[in-house]
Amino acid sequence: MEVQSYLIGVIEASVAVLGGEGVAAYGKDIINIILTILHSPNTAAHEDCLRTAGLMAKEIGPDFSGYMPHIWPYLGGYLKDRDRGSTYITAVLATSDVARAIEGRIMSYCDDIVGCLLAALSSPTLESRAKPPTLSCLGDIALGIGSRFTRYADPTMTLLQQATLFDMPLDDSIPAQTMLRNDLWEGILVAYSGVIMGLREAPPVQFANLVKIHMATMLGFIRKISETFVMVDGSPRYGFESVLRASCGLLVNQSRKNQENQENQENKKSTNK
């Protein structure tokens, strides 16, 4: 068992060193080792396997889709098991890596993936530290499959709206608590941005029905964040920079989509004339 842990550690390091071409050349050998260990009862090494698979996807990009039928039974299994703590989180992070790498080719797995993510976020037993990566993963899926995310947009946006209402104590004397709150808010913002950018090619009416009706909630959430950024003494809150960057990213994406809609309307008017 311990040998397997060392072996997958070496494989993970090798993937990082080999780069895209090297990983592609040894892809079958690497995935076979990953699958062999995942098939074993050595659950301690399974997290490393999932992490290595995600890293492999980042290195070889769309070509990783060829390995998905083999890795999915294990990746999907851990996505469904949200009570497994760090292993579930690793599976979510690996899924995000895969979604960014193979983009639209992940579509055939999306019913299961999005179903698992939404179920996890709706579960009272999901660990707090697992919520931010789960939220971000929804955004990565939306970016990956683009306008085809419309089938998942309504439940996703409803869940995000509920998430914006969740409040955590603002006690900056407890850094771990502060970082958890920041990570949660950043995850919500990343998910919103992913959905907006993913649906940018959707028909304007459909986009309005799925996303635009939630615009007030998004802007209100950003306002809440901006008001929280500064403490009573005027100093910025600890670790808030990434949240502000994500807020700015969401605002930029909203502005771009609004500009695109205006340009489309103007083009239609010109055509009608």
Q: Residue 245: is its pLDDT beyond 90?
A: no
Residues 257-272: what's their mean pLDDT? 56
Identify the residue with better confidence: 153 or 230: 153
At residue 268, the pLDDT reads 54
Flag whether pLDDT at 172 surpasses 70. Answer: no
Quickly count: other Cβ atoms within 10 Å of residue 192's Cβ.
32
pLDDT recorded at residue 271: 57
What's residue 193's pLDDT?
92
Q: What is the pLDDT of residue 206?
A: 87
pLDDT of 149: 96
Mean pLDDT of the chain: 86
Q: What percent of the residues of the chain are helix, what percent strand, and what percent coil, each to the nearest 5?
A: 85, 0, 15
Asked whether residue 265 carries a pLDDT value surpassing 90, the answer given is no
Instruction: Identify which has the larger pLDDT, 93 or 226.
Output: 93
For 21-78, what is each residue's pLDDT tens digit?
999 999 999 999 999 999 998 888 999 999 999 999 999 999 999 999 999 999 999 9
Contacts of 204 (CB under 8 A, 6+ apart): 261, 264, 265
Q: Is the pLDDT of residue 145 over 60?
A: yes
Kindly report, residue by residue over 181-237, the tens digit of the pLDDT: 888 999 999 999 999 999 988 888 888 888 888 888 998 998 888 877 765 555 555
pTM: 0.86
Q: Looking at residue 33, what is its pLDDT?
A: 93
The secondary structure of residue 237, as a DSSP letter, is: P
Q: What is the percentage of the chain residues whose pLDDT exceeds 70? A: 84
Structure tokens at 96: 């995000």
Closest alpha carbon to 195 in 224, 154, 166, 165: 154
Reported as a single tens digit per residue, the pLDDT across 96-119 is 999 999 999 999 999 999 999 999
Q: Shortest CA distance to 211 belongs to which of 136, 152, 139, 153?
A: 153
Highest mean pLDDT among 130-139, 169-178, 256-265: 130-139
Q: Read off the tokens for 35.
A: 């699958």
Average pLDDT over residues 163-171: 76
Asked whether residue 266 carries a pLDDT value surpassing 70, the answer given is: no
